[in-house]
Amino acid sequence: MSNNDLRFPCIIPTIVTDYLRSRVFIPYFFKYLPISSITFIGPANLKEQLDKDIADGILDASNTFFLDEVSLVPFSPVKKIYDELDSENKSIRPSSVNWYYQQFLKMAYSKICESEYYLCWDSDTLPLRKIDMFSSDDKPYLDVKPEFRNSYFLTLERLFGYDKVIENSFISEHMLFDTELMQALISEIERLSFFGDHFYEKILSAVGPDNLSLGFSEFETYGTWVAMKHVSKYKLRNWKSFRNTNFFIDIADLTKEDIEWLAISYDAASFEKYQETEQILTDLFRNPRYREKLTPELFYKSILESGAMGEYVDGKIKSGSGFNPL
C-alpha cells in the first residue's frame, strides 16, 4: 500500500470569525486532502459555534472535532513574556502575540497526536484539486514557495546556528508534520540555554525585543531543521498555490467557475483577510477573454509584470531586503 493511501488528522488553529469566513471550504478539505478528520483548535466560543454547526448539519460530528487551545499551550505565559519583550516597543501590532501563539499550538499538537503524521492547514486556504502528500517513493513532501523574511532566519541562527539552506521558503500555507520529529525539535529547543522551561518561552527569548515583529516561523524552522538533521526524510516539491487571491476576488463571491479556472494552474488558493479586494482586479480576473486565452498562472504573471502588485523582479515581489509570498 502506498503512503498516498494513508489518511491522517488535519489541524486548523482558528478563531470564530476566521472559521465562519472560510467555513465554506470544509467540504473541499475532505474532498481533496488525504485526511481522516479535522480538529479545530481555538478558544471556548469556537466550540459553541462548532456544536451549533454540527446540530444544524453543516459539520459531521464523526470527523470534525474541537480542541481547547489552552489544553495544548497556556496563553498567559506566552503573553507575559511577549509583553515583557515588547515593553519598550509599542509599535508592534497587538495581534502579534496571537500570531506567535497560533504557531506554538501547531507545534504542541505533536504531544497528543496518535498518528505518525499530522497535517496543518491554514483555514483561509482552499484546495482546488486532489493533493498527494507523498512522493512516488513514499517520502512525505516538504512544499516550498518563493518568500523570504530575514527576521525568521535571525531567530533560527540564534536557536541553532542555521542560516537559510534552500533557495525557496518552507512557508506554503500548510505542512505535513512528522509527529516524532516535531517532538524531537521541541525537545532540542527546550534543552537550549534561553530563558524559560518550555519551548515557546525559549523561542520568544531567542526572538528578543529587537526582532519581535514577525520574528519566528514554525514552518521555516521545522523545514530548515529537518533539512539540516534529517535530509533524507522528506522530498522537496515546488508548491503551486495562489497566495494573493483575495486581492482579485472576495472569498464570499467565489464561484464554482472561479475554482475550476484556478485549478488549471494551482493546487490551492489563499484568501487572506488583510487583503482588500480591488474591483479593477476583479474585473480582470473575471474577464472571459482572459480566461479563454490565458491560464491562471499566465494571467497572474501578466498582472505581476505590470507592477500592480509591487516591484516584481526575477519572479518575486520585492519587499525591502526580502520578498513577499506570491
For the chain, give every domain's residue range.
3-238, 241-324
**Average pLDDT of 100-120?**
98
Round to whole Å and give the CA distance between 141 and 37: 20
The pLDDT of residue 93 is: 52
DSSP code of 140?
B
From the candidate CATH numbers 3.30.2000, 3.40.50, 3.90.550, 1.10.3470, the one assigned to the domain spanning 3-238: 3.90.550
pLDDT of 90 over the 70 cut = no
Structure confidence by residue, pLDDT tens digits, 188-198: 999 999 999 99
The pLDDT of residue 243 is: 85
Structure confidence by residue, pLDDT tens digits, 200-257: 999 999 999 999 988 999 999 999 999 999 999 999 999 999 988 999 999 999 999 9
DSSP codes, 150-218:
HHHHHHHHHHHS----SSSBS-SSEEEEEHHHHHHHHHHHHTSSSSSSSHHHHHHHHH-GGG-TT---H
How many Å is the Cα radius of gyration of the chain?
20
Round to whole Å and give the CA distance between 148 and 146: 7
Return the minimum-mean-pLDDT range out of 228-237, 256-265, 297-306: 297-306
